Amino acid sequence: MPSRSDLGDLVLPLFVTLEQFYCGAIRHVQVNTKELNKAGYCLLQETFEVYVPRGAPDGHRVTFAGKVTTGDVVFVLQEMIHPLWSRQGSHLFVKQNITLRQAGQKQTRCWSLSRLYTDSMLYGCSCLA
């Protein structure tokens, strides 16, 4: 739901996949705005090219200065839930069920980029190739 900040900025959430945060991405987003002219308000539709920087944190803000009559258009990047991976800061985590026997063993698992790549192929991330 779009919101206006105290300064009149148009603040919009933009939901981004974990792969797009990891790889970086460019998203094209159409926004409907109202512009005040002599006849009153008229509706405008503008397309913004939003750059998602590689490794950006959840909540990262992308600002387009002066794009609406009352101020800026601000996109707040929000991480979508991934079916396998979760992220805390710059760390990736995976939840995995293990047997009681596996729980009694000391085991180190290193999830390399190749594993992330294999899993991401299922979800359409091609930047890891």
Nearest to 94 by CA among 125, 77, 119: 119
First to last CA, the chain: 36
Q: What is the dihedral of CA 117, 122, 127, 128, to 10 degrees?
A: 10
Nearest to 7 by CA among 63, 77, 78, 59: 63
Distance between CA atoms of residues 105 and 96, nearest Å? 15
The structural domains of the chain, ordered by start, are 3-79 (2.60.260.20), 85-121 (no CATH)
pLDDT tens for 54-65 read 989 999 999 999
- pTM metric for this prediction: 0.70
pLDDT tens for 78-92 read 999 988 888 888 788
